[in-house]
């Protein structure tokens, strides 16, 4: 039977388990990445494991999220991260060097390798033919310590791209089309593998736009072949030696096939407030726009911004629009500066930001009240921009630039002749902002300013779980609902007691105080609970507030593992109707929790309403052991 690319990489990295979809497998991890907002916890966790240096082929610590420094907190975190990188043998990509996924693609990604990152958009590396997966900080910490990464063997879905993209149809439109077809939960437990003759028309940065936003499908990862396009890209980065060809066998088998005709696609837009709320731009043109943001790990490459510069050259940004551009990396910014495109952007009236995540996650540039903001990023969750009633729409760079000029949502096809920007033969390679750890590291100390607080400790699972149902939420609740981002709250990522007070604050401002007063309790959720980011703070804050269990209709992959990693029990309703009969304040009881977990026969008693709900879990034997041990850190330490 012919192998697909995903199964080839998995087979080459399989440490344990059998490659049957749904069964847990263990993978050897070649490379890891962390970013500053999840990295402080990850390195504290690595330190707690007690191993002197990372055991991966390559680990990189990036600073790209918390760069708006309005107090000492972020700067403290950055100092800590730099000291941890030096001590543990990790490369340190300094603040200003760029967004982790963009820089990793440029400088480190290698086809055929595995990459685990403490950021949900790590699958960006799939644009180079890597198997790149996002995970919580603790999973990345254990991988840095040389433990394998455990994940359910995914189904592999083949997305066949046929033909050449129609004029003005960008890579962003392709992934928006996939989101329209499959929705934000359509990729859970799946890897999306892109093949077909259409692949040849997409550059590596284009492919990376598509694999990046596979995270919005809930997919475990997304991957493109490593072919002549990949070879050329690596050569342009002075890394020709890193090229390895990776193609599916001609008779490769897949769990499902989806065909997309690229020549029939049109420019698309995701309307507020979900990335799958996708319509044709042509259907919504003429709506007034207040802000345009071009950047984020989805669309901030050199070719992206060159297309924007070509559209803006010699023109002026509309008087009612604030155009904000954050290049994805220092290399991108240096290239634009060297060839004059930066001058074109500035002359047109663009506001140029640091090479970082910035507005994508509410770190600066929040739109005006009820403002419409067209953005090239990947998430348009309500409130994420920092303005509660802002209307965020997701579009390609071309559509964003068009709206910046006209002041209204505009079909980029109205701009005339399409723009073709080839990937250059050679990028200006300059790694001086990436610090390599010294050889002599034993004497080095971790620098811990007052913003760095100790790790919270989970306790082993009790025999009986009893608590008040403190909060019931609907479907597709994101980690941005559970543990909001934004400049002020993200500055507290290394201080769990302080950040926990913000848990669920946009859903119910009384939640944290009620949870503390009640001595903890239980949360009830709908479908796809915890979709979105990898931030383990969405488990750590509930842990700190005493939450014992979350009962939902279904869970997103990374968040469910984060709950297990910190000893919070994730259960699913056997009968989804039971969700409707629970009210806030009901007292819920799980007797014999340990035994029920082992036998997967748990029942939740609603003591207040005298009802019994059968519940299930989707945990492997290993995950159950982690629950019993009181979280992954204790489990791993016990193994050592």
DSSP 510: T
Closest CA to 470 of 553, 532, 549: 549
Residues 226, 129: contact at Cβ < 8 Å?
Answer: yes
Answer with the entry of ligand MIC, ligand SF4, none that 377 interacts with (C-beta below 5 to 8 A by kind). ligand SF4
Q: Look up residue 610 and give its two tokens.
A: 């005298």
**Quick one: which of 212, 206, 163 has its CA closest to 187?**
212
> What's the Cα-to-Cα distance from 591 to each of 467, 521, 541, 543, 599, rounded to whole Å?
12, 15, 25, 20, 13
Stretch that binds ligand MIC, among 177-185, 202-210, 362-370, 530-538 (CB under 6 A): 530-538
45 touching ligand MIC, by CB under 6 A: no
Residue 387 or 533: the one with the smaller Cβ distance to ligand MIC is 533
Query: Is 392 in contact with 385 (CB distance < 8 Å)?
Result: yes
x-or-dash string of contact with ligand SF4, 352-371, rule CB under 6 A: -----x--xx----------
Among 119, 173, 411, 468, binds ligand MIC (CB under 6 A): 119
- Please state the closest distance from residue 613 (CB atom) to ligand MIC, in A: 31
- Binding status of residue 38 toward ligand MIC by CB under 6 A: yes
Binding flag, residue 361, ligand MIC (CB under 6 A) = yes
- Site for ligand SF4 contains 541 (CB under 6 A): no
Q: Is 387 in the site for ligand MIC (CB under 6 A)?
A: no
- Determine if 140 is a binding residue for ligand MIC (CB under 6 A): no
Task: Write the DSSP string, 452-509.
Answer: --PPP---PPPS-EEEEEEEE--TT-BHHHHS--SHHHHTTTT-HHHHHTTTTTTT-T
Q: Retrieve residue 269's tokens.
A: 């837009």
Count of residues that bind ligand SF4 according to CB under 6 A: 11
C-alpha 84, offset from chain centre: 23
Residues in 64-83 that interact with ligand SF4 by CB under 6 A: 65
Is 140 near ligand SF4 (CB under 6 A)? no
Residue 115 or 348 having the CB closest to ligand SF4: 115
**What 3-state DSSP class applies to 91?**
strand
- Picked from ligand MIC, ligand SF4, none, the partner binding residue 296 (CB below 5 to 8 A depending on kind) is ligand SF4
Contact pick of 7, 121, 330, 472 for ligand MIC (by CB under 6 A): 121
Phi-psi region of 143 (alpha: psi -120 to 50; beta: other; left: phi over 0): alpha
Question: Which runs of E-coded beta strand occur in 21-176?
Answer: 24-27, 31-35, 58-62, 91-93, 114-117, 131-134, 149-152, 155-162
Residue 534's binding partner out of ligand MIC, ligand SF4, none, with CB under 5 to 8 Å set by partner kind:
ligand MIC
From the list ligand MIC, ligand SF4, none, partner contacted by residue 322 (C-beta under 5 to 8 A by kind): none
Task: Tell me the window of 12-20, 119-127, 274-282, 298-306 that interacts with ligand MIC (CB under 6 A).
Answer: 119-127
Binding mask 270-299 for ligand SF4 (x = CB under 6 A): --------------------------xx--
Among 82, 102, 120, 226, binds ligand MIC (CB under 6 A): 120
CA-CA-CA-CA torsion for 294, 299, 300, 306, nearest 10 degrees? Answer: -80
Is 485 an interacting residue with respect to ligand MIC (CB under 6 A)? yes
How many whole angstroms separate alpha carbon 295 and alpha carbon 378? 10
529 or 579: CB nearest ligand MIC? 529
Distance CA 273, CA 297 (A): 19
Among 153, 355, 374, 377, binds ligand SF4 (CB under 6 A): 377
> Which residue, 174 or 360, is less far from ligand SF4 as judged by CB?
360
Q: Does 476 bind ligand SF4 (CB under 6 A)?
A: no
531 scored as a contact of ligand SF4 (CB under 6 A): no
d(CA 94, CA 32): 16
Does residue 99 interact with ligand SF4 by CB under 6 A? Answer: yes
Q: Which does 489 bind (CB under 5 to 8 A by kind): ligand MIC, ligand SF4, none?
A: none
Q: Which is nearer to ligand MIC, 38 or 203 (CB)?
A: 38
Stretch that binds ligand MIC, among 117-125, 240-248, 260-268, 631-639 (CB under 6 A): 117-125
Q: Radius of gyration of the chain from Cα atoms?
A: 23
Which residue in the set 38, 40, 237, 378 belongs to the binding site for ligand SF4 (CB under 6 A)?
378
Strand partners, 194: 159
CA distance 479 to 528: 11
> Which residues in the 304-343 window bind ligand SF4 by CB under 6 A?
none
Tell me how far, at minimum, the Cβ of 15 lies from ligand SF4, in Å.
28
Per the CB < 8 A criterion, the answer to whether 279 and 269 are in contact is yes
Query: How far is C-alpha 561 from the chain's CA centre?
Result: 14
Residue 102 within binding range of ligand MIC, rule CB under 6 A: no
Q: String of b and e for 494-518 (b: at least 16 CB within 10 Å)?
A: bbbebbbbbbbebebeebbebbeee
Residue 37 makes contact with ligand MIC by CB under 6 A: yes
To which H or E segment does residue 397 belong? helix 397-406
Tokens 């694999």 -> residue:
211
The listed partner (ligand SF4, ligand MIC, none) that binds 99, CB under 5 to 8 Å by sort, is: ligand SF4
> Which of 38/230 has CB closer to ligand MIC?
38
The beta-carbon contacts of 592-595 under 8 Å, at least 24 apart in sequence, are: 592/463, 592/464, 593/461, 593/462, 593/463, 593/464, 593/465, 593/569, 594/461, 594/463, 594/628
Q: How far is the CB of 436 from ligand MIC (least distance, A)?
A: 25
Q: Could you tell me the smallest distance in angstroms from the CB atom of residue 275 to ligand MIC? A: 12
Residues that bind ligand SF4 (CB under 6 A): 65, 99, 119, 121, 296-297, 357, 360-361, 377-378
Residues that bind ligand MIC (CB under 6 A): 37-38, 65, 119-121, 134, 361, 485, 532-535
């Amino acid at each position: 039977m012919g192998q697909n690319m995903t199964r080839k990489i998995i087979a080459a990295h399989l440490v344990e388990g059998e490659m049957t979809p749904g069964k847990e497998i263990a993978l050897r991890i070649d490379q890891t990445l962390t970013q500053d907002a999840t990295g402080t916890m990850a390195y504290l966790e690595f330190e707690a494991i007690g191993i002197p240096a990372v055991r991966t082929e390559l680990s990189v610590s990036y600073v790209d999220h918390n760069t708006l420094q309005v107090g000492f907190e972020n700067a403290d975190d950055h100092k800590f991260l730099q000291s941890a990188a030096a001590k543990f043998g990790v490369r340190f990509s300094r603040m200003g060097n760029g967004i982790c996924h963009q820089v990793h693609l440029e400088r480190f990604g290698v086809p055929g390798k595995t990459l685990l990152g403490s950021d949900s958009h790590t699958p960006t590396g799939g644009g180079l033919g890597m198997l790149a997966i996002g995970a919580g900080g603790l999973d990345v910490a254990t991988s840095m310590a040389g433990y394998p990464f455990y994940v359910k063997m995914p189904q592999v879905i083949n997305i066949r791209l046929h033909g050449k993209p129609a004029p003005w149809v960008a890579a962003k439109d392709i992934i928006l089309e996939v989101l329209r077809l499959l929705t934000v939960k359509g990729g859970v437990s799946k890897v999306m593998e892109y093949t077909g003759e259409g692949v040849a028309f997409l550059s590596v940065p284009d492919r990376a736009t598509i694999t990046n936003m596979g995270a919005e499908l809930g997919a475990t990862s997304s991957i493109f072949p490593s072919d002549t396009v990949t070879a050329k890209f690596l050569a342009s980065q002075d890394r020709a030696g890193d090229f390895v060809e990776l193609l599916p066998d001609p008779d490769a088998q897949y769990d499902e096939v989806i065909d997309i005709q690229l020549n029939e696609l049109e420019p698309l837009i995701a309307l507020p407030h979900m990335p799958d709320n996708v319509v044709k731009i042509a259907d919504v043109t003429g709506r007034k726009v207040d802000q345009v943001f071009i950047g984020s790990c989805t669309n901030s490459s050199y070719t992206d911004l060159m297309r924007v510069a070509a559209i803006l050259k010699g023109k002026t940004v509309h008087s009612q629009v604030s155009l904000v551009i954050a290049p994805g990396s220092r290399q991108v910014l240096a290239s634009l500066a060297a060839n004059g495109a930066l001058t074109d952007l500035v002359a047109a009236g663009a506001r140029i930001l640091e090479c970082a995540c910035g507005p994508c996650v509410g770190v600066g540039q929040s739109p005006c009240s009820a403002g419409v903001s067209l953005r090239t990023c990947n998430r348009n969750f309500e409130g994420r921009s920092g303005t509660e009633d802002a209307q965020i729409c997701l579009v390609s760079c071309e559509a964003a630039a068009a709206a910046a000029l006209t002041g209204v949502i505009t079909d980029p096809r109205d701009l005339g002749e399409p723009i073709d920007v080839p990937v250059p033969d050679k990028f200006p390679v300059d790694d001086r902002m990436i610090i390599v750890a010294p050889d002599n590291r034993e004497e080095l100390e971790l620098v811990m300013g007052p913003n760095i607080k100790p790790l919270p400790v989970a306790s082993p699972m009790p025999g009986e779980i009893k608590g008040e149902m403190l909060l019931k939420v609907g479907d597709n609740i994101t980690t941005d609902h559970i543990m909001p981002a934004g400049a002020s709250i993200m500055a507290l990522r290394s201080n769990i007691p302080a950040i926990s007070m913000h848990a669920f604050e946009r859903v119910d401002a009384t939640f944290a105080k009620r949870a503390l007063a009640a001595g903890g309790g239980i949360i009830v959720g709908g479908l796809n609970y915890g979709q979105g980011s990898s931030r383990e703070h969405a488990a750590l804050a509930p842990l700190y507030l005493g939450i014992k269990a979350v009962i939902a209709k279904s869970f997103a992959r990374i968040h469910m593992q984060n709950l297990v990693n910190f000893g919070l029990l994730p259960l699913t309703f056997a009968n989804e109707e039971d969700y409707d009969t629970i009210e806030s304040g009901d007292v819920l009881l799980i007797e014999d929790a340990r035994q029920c977990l082992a036998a997967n026969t748990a029942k939740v008693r609603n003591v207040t309403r005298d009802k019994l709900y059968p519940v299930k879990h989707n945990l492997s034997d290993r995950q159950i052991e982690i629950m019993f041990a009181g979280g992954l850190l204790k489990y791993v330490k016990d193994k050592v």
